[in-house]
């Protein structure tokens, strides 16, 4: 541990699995106090208990603005401040332009865009009073490249990347940095239905799916290796730490070179 986040308080939405869980682990290891936020109470409490006194679980459904507002308020009440807000929660969406429905659109935009908009809104009202803060948004290379996700997912992530820059411009005068991270194809259970689906499967089934996924992702990446949740967690660590103090309005691509490929076949 090098204490790169010593005395900092961070909120991580979608913190009960995948990238969020890995980021919580890295942040705590680097000296931060972390609020693990998500809908899965059992998973959230288990993670917080394992990480010790430096972690705390708060239930939050990022589809609801009131939940996000309450999450920020509860964090301030317990720890006195918010130094980093990682708007990480999300899920994949499938479908094409020809089969999209109003229900699909509403769900995807509320989950993938609305959660970021309101995460920024409520974290920044606290950070303005502090005169400092770092907001991170989980975007995706789907925002800029074909065959990286469904139609609505790509559109939503493009919105996240752009609103990051807009928010960064607005909040810079308050000492608040706003950046996004665009992962490439990172090996998490999102590829077979997310953490909720993974919990319904036997351990061996999840292991087999992960093994196959790691192989497929490696074949589709110039570095010939799959991206891992920890790769994104370390990118978040850089942006949240003092080392990233002069970085804002930026989208950090972490994809093993995938976006540099002229043609990219969809991951199976």
Q: What angle do CA 194, 236, 60 make, to 5 degrees?
A: 50
Report the chain's C-alpha Rg in angstroms: 18
Q: What are phi and psi of 265, to 5 degrees?
A: -75, 150
Strand partners, 254: 183
- For Cα atoms 97, 102, 104, give the angle at the middle one, nearest 5 degrees: 70
CA dist., res. 54 & res. 254, Å (int): 27
Evaluate whether 26 touches 263 at the Cβ level (below 8 Å): no
Check the CA dihedral 204-228-142-133 and report its sign: positive
Burial (CB count within 10 angstroms: exposed 0-12, middle 13-18, buried 19+), residue 94: exposed
The distance from CA 60 to its chain's CA centroid, rounded to whole angstroms, is 14
Residue 180, beta-bridge partner list: 137, 251
Q: Which two tokens stand for residue 131?
A: 């005169």
Catalytic residue annotation = 153
């Amino acid at each position: 541990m090098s204490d790169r986040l010593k005395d900092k308080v961070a909120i991580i939405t979608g913190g009960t699995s995948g990238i969020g869980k890995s980021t919580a682990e890295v942040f705590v290891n680097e000296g931060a106090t972390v609020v693990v936020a998500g809908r899965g109470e059992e998973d959230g409490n288990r993670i917080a208990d394992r990480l010790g006194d430096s972690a705390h679980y708060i239930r939050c459904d990022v589809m609801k603005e009131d939940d996000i507002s309450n999450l920020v308020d509860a964090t301030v009440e317990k720890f006195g401040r918010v130094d980093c807000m990682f708007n990480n929660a999300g899920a994949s969406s499938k479908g094409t332009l020809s089969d999209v429905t109003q229900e699909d659109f509403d769900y995807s935009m509320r989950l993938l865009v609305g959660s970021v908009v309101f995460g920024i809104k409520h974290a920044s009202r606290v950070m303005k009073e502090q005169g400092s803060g770092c907001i991170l948004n989980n975007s995706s290379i789907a925002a800029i490249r074909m065959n990286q996700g469904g139609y609505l997912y790509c559109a939503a992530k493009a919105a996240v990347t752009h609103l990051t820059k807009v928010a960064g411009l607005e909040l810079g005068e308050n000492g608040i940095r706003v950046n996004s991270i665009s992962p490439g194809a990172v090996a998490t259970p999102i590829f077979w239905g997310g953490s909720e689906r993974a919990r319904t499967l036997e351990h061996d089934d999840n292991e087999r799916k992960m093994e196959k996924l790691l192989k497929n992702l490696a074949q589709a990446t110039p570095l010939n290796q799959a991206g891992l949740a920890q790769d994104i967690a370390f990118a978040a660590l850089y942006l949240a730490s003092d080392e990233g103090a002069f970085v804002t309005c930026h989208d950090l691509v972490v994809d093993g070179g995938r976006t540099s490929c002229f043609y990219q076949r969809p991951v199976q």
